[in-house]
Structure 1
């Protein structure tokens, strides 16, 4: 298990115990995090699970691969630390990861 925190645009925090091997998106859906719709079910075919990775965690989560980068073009208010939460696999070294939900997804 790893601790995962989603922060909504209004500052509401969702602290989640996330099983290793799952995705950040799966944990957001299971815990009813507002703004994470995941319309494609995690197939990297939409941008409705877009998040901002807290800057302290960008190196550990890594860069988006080509397919994710293409989908991020459809995300609202993309930033350099934008990722699709369906593409962030929970690992032990991501314990404490903080992800922010963009305001336009609220």
Structure 2
């Protein structure tokens, strides 16, 4: 597989992993991108490869924003759960005191 195909394939892998919320697969794709960039660093880039890498970079940024949004949503849910848990514990404690 040539570099252009790999670049495009990795972009698709990012999208599929984020859409499936498959975070381990997303990490694998991210590591594969890092390896590819490292391997390509020593060789000159054609205009076509440069454009493909720029598109991949933009795509990576978009996927990063999606992940950040998801992370923020999960943090909020965790805060709400913690807040509700504290309330449930207080209510349970209050109910136990009334029973005594």
Taking structure 2 as the reference length, what is the TM-score of the superposition?
0.23
Greater fraction of residues in helix: 2
Greater fraction of residues in strand: 1
Larger radius of gyration: 2
Question: Which gives a bigger RCO, structure 1 or 2 (Cα 8 Å, sep 6+)?
Answer: 1
Taking structure 1 as the reference length, what is the TM-score of the superposition?
0.23
